[in-house]
Amino acid sequence: MAHSIVMLGKKHDLKSFDCGNPILNTWLQTTARQHQKKSLSSTFVLVDDESSEAVIGFYALAISSMAAKEKLSPSMAKSLPLMVPGITLGRLAVATKFKGQGNGSMLLVDTMIRAKYVARQVGGFALFVDAKDEATAGFYAHFGFEPLPDDPLRLCIPIASIPEFGY
């Protein structure tokens, strides 16, 4: 079964998406398209190439507000200006019936590749994410994200540290 990650469109079936988290389900079903229309964030969906309407998983990216250098780890903050730009991974979820198959990793790698591309075009020091719990923070840490010193559930990875992933 081949998969693609594409920008959320009108053809995608959002009503049947269920990741087990009502907040994420509701956001995708009621808010994602509105945010995209207003250019507040962009949502990308993982779909099966044969039935491209069903959403397997999704993530949303947005430009983040400037982050204060002192919020970053000392090693990361070295030689940076007082405020640094970034990109935020606002949400990432996989439908319950597709969990445990590497789909979350696939979505995160695509997020990182896209963030690196965007930062090359417009600038941005880091990709930021707010983890919902310690287990989720561990998932992001596995990919090189580091917790901020004063908030272990807010993590970031410098754009320059994102691997090329073969692209």
Q: pLDDT for 4-28, tens place per residue?
A: 999 999 999 999 999 999 999 999 9
The mean predicted confidence, pLDDT, of the chain is 93
State the CATH number of the domain containing residue 26.
3.40.630.30
Q: Domain for residue 86, yes or no? A: yes
Q: Domain for residue 166, yes or no? A: no
Whether residue 140 lies in the annotated active site: yes
In this prediction, residue 135 carries a pLDDT of 93
Q: 33: which 2 tokens?
A: 């398209």
In this prediction, residue 52 carries a pLDDT of 76
Catalytic residue among 59, 117, 140, 167: 140
Q: Domain for residue 167, yes or no? A: no
The CA distances from residue 91 to 7, 77, 97, 149, in Å, are 14, 25, 18, 22
Q: Domain for residue 126, yes or no? A: yes
Q: Which residues contact 51 (CB under 8 A, 6 or more apart)?
A: none
Q: Domain for residue 19, yes or no? A: yes
In this prediction, residue 99 carries a pLDDT of 95
Instruction: Extract the residue ranges of the chain whose pLDDT is less than 70.
Output: 1, 166-167
Q: Structural domain of residue 87, as residue ranges?
A: 3-161
Domain count, the chain: 1
